[in-house]
């Protein structure tokens, strides 16, 4: 990790009002606005969520509208956008993603934080697969037993957060399922701890999402000394 002394910070860049383009959102489609949002809200952490399907299969899918909410109690949020309307999915219930449906049914899930080395598996897991198929098997991911929930965690990820459902809030016209989960157990690989026994993000090397199907890794971390 690079340490920067405060007086030597590079001068910030500024733009005049005439150097901006205003992006009018009114009248744009939901898809167009989604692409704008995913290009502007970057980078986004990826929650590689494992759930158990109705037939007992281990479903795995990545979601990047994901973040922490509070620490007392420890709550995280994941926004799961439903499938678009189609002949096969005419109503909101039929447009639920498998992950959201499994969470609604079981009330449990695991958020796995994928490292950069798992990017290909994350991309594959995010494709559309039949409900009865296990993305964990397709991607060759290792299932480990969890301690507090019935859903397995992924041994390919350095961080795993076992969660129980707090509530689901339906947001917008889709609607989007905003999942709030309470972290009931957390796991971290031994090798991602630093010399002082604290988690070291430079060792976790988390994968993040950008726009237009692109990803990013942690190129450099730094902190300030005042």
Taking residues 121-137, report their average pLDDT: 95
Question: Structure tokens of 196?
Answer: 């002082």
Extents of the domains making up the chain: 44-216
Q: Are 164 and 107 in contact (CB under 8 A)?
A: yes
Mean pLDDT over each residue of the chain, to the nearest integer: 92
What does the pLDDT look like over 68-79, one tens digit per residue? 999 999 999 999
State residue 2's pLDDT score: 66
**Structure-model confidence comparison of residues 58 and 195, the more confident one:** 58
**HEC readout, the chain:** CEEEEHHHCCCCCCCCHHHCCCCCCCCCCHHHHHHHHHHHCCCEECEEEEEECCCCCEEEEEECCEEEEEECCEEEEEEEECCCCCCCCCCCHHHCCHHHHHHHHHCEEEEEECEHHHHHHHHHHCCCCCCCCCHHHHHCCCEECCCCCCCCEECCCCEEEEEEEEEEEEECCCCEEEEEEEEEEEEECHHHECCCCCECHHHHCECEECCCCCEECCCCCEEEEC
Q: Are 100 and 82 in contact (CB under 8 A)?
A: yes
> What pTM was computed for the model?
0.91
What does the pLDDT look like over 6-49, one tens digit per residue? 555 566 788 999 999 999 999 999 999 999 999 999 999 999 99
Architecture of domain 44-216: Roll (2.30)
Taking residues 122-130, report their average pLDDT: 95
């Amino acid at each position: 990790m690079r340490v920067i002394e405060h007086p030597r910070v590079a001068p910030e860049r500024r733009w005049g009002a005439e150097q901006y383009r205003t992006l009018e959102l009114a009248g744009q489609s939901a898809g167009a606005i989604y692409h704008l949002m995913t290009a502007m809200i970057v980078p986004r952490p990826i929650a590689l969520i494992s759930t158990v399907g109705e037939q007992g299969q281990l479903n795995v899918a990545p979601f990047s509208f994901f973040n922490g909410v509070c620490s007392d109690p420890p709550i995280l949020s994941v926004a799961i956008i439903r499938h678009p309307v189609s002949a096969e999915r005419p109503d909101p219930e039929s447009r639920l993603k498998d992950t959201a449906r499994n969470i609604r049914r079981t009330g449990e899930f695991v958020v796995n934080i994928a490292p950069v080395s798992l990017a290909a598996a994350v991309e594959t897991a995010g494709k559309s697969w039949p409900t009865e198929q296990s993305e964990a098997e397709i991607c060759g991911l290792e299932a480990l037993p969890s301690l507090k929930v019935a859903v397995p965690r992924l041994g390919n990820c350095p961080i795993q957060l076992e969660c129980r459902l707090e509530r689901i809030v339906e947001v917008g016209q889709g609607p989007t399922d905003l999942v709030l989960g309470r972290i009931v157990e957390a796991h971290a690989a031994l090798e991602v701890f630093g010399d002082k026994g604290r988690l070291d993000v430079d060792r976790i090397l988390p994968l993040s999402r950008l726009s237009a199907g692109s990803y990013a890794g942690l190129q450099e971390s730094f902190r300030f000394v005042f």
